[in-house]
Amino acid sequence: MKEIKYKKLKWLNLEKPNETDVLTLKKKFKFHELDVEDCLSETQRPKIDEYDSYLFIVLEFPYYHKNSKTLETEQLNIFIGQDYLVTLSNGHLPPISKIFNSCEKSIKSKREFFGDNIGFLLYEIINGLFDDIFPIVDSIQLSLKQIEKHIFHSSHPRDQLYKIMIMKKNIITLRNLILPQRSVVAALEHKQKRFIADELVIYFDDIVDQIEKIWNILDMQKEVIESLEDTHESLLSHNINNTMRTLTVFSAIMLPLTFLTGLFGMNVKLPFTMALDNLNHFWSILIIMASVTASLFVIFKIKKWL
């Protein structure tokens, strides 16, 4: 459990807290037992609960999984009182560690991030976390452009289904994460005057604007990835149809040739070949087969099947 003090304000940051750590906080700050249970659970939805002496806030933020390109969600639990802030996470939120380490090393950073009240520190943390989402959104946008390039501007487009599914999952994850948090931050902006100073309203309003921008971008990206998915499936179906048509035409050409080779390959004398010797017989069959192949090729070409 790490702690930073500035004037009368205090910030406790816990990464990967265990049950003992959380129970220690409960005893020290008189937190409600339901909030303690929420801190130990990993399935909470974003929310804000108000008590007489503190606010309990649950937020979620994205991070890339270490071994894949898929997005995972990290739960951030926050307790804020009149003069203290407690943050609990699993250590996948770099902006928190960056702010905490900066405040540990520099008085100037403490002055910058703490301000005159604990609500300003809360703003700096939440603002940094939402700012950190924009690079993720930008990386998704870049990936969408690359997928679009492979689909529309490649002479031999490859199967992009796996990439499309990864991008679709990431966009859905972000949308599900962002949607419920708009109301939580809006509540901080308008309702929690006992813990958030009036002059901070404009700051939290800026975070709400960031959330709206992220949501609008994700809304556009959702439409793009769905369009790319439909287009990709249509192109794959079209390519498969072209391949099947080519194979069908090839089979149609080979069918009469197979019949002729089978007919003339029978171990019997045919009426119209009895007068021919074996050499003439061979060349006659080749001429017939070539004529049939050429005729079928011309017919298929006229019908634009080739």
Tens digits of residue pLDDT in 228-251 = 888 888 887 877 887 788 788 888
Whether residue 85 is predicted with pLDDT greater than 80 in this model: the reply is: yes
For position 91, what pLDDT does the model report? 83
pLDDT tens per residue, range 137-162: 999 999 999 888 888 776 555 678 88
Helix (H) or strand (E) holding 10: strand 9-15
pLDDT at 78: 93
- pTM to 2 decimal places: 0.77
Spatial separation of the C-alpha atoms in residues 254 and 248, rounded to whole Å:
10
Q: Percent of the chain having pLDDT more than 70?
A: 89
- Give dist(CA 122, CA 195) in Å, integer: 10
* Percentage with pLDDT > 90 across the chain: 25
- CB of 81 within 8 A of CB of 74? no
Residue 267 pLDDT level (bands cut at 50, 70, 90): low
- The distance of Cα 171 from the centroid of its chain, to the nearest Å, equals 4
How many other C-beta atoms lie within 10 A of the C-beta of residue 267?
4
CA 122 to chain centre: 28
Q: Cβ neighbours of residue 5 under 8 Å, at least 6 residues apart?
A: 11
Lowest mean pLDDT across 22-31, 91-100, 256-265: 256-265
Tell me the three state secondary structure of residue 63: strand
pLDDT given for residue 273 in this prediction: 56
CA dist 289 and 184 (Å) reads 79
Q: What's the whole-number mean pLDDT along residues 110-122? A: 87
Average pLDDT on 184-199 reads 78
Residue tagged 């090393």 (tokens):
105
Mean pLDDT is lowest, of 29-33, 184-188, 265-269, for 265-269
Selection from 83, 86, 85 nearest residue 117 by Cα? 83
Query: Residue 5 above 70 pLDDT?
Result: yes
pLDDT band at 295 (very low <50, low <70, confident <90, very high): confident
More confident residue, 135 or 233: 135
The pLDDT of residue 192 is: 65
Mean pLDDT of the chain: 84
Task: Please answer whether residues 36 and 26 qualify as being in contact, where contact means their C-beta atoms are separated by less than 8 angstroms.
Answer: yes
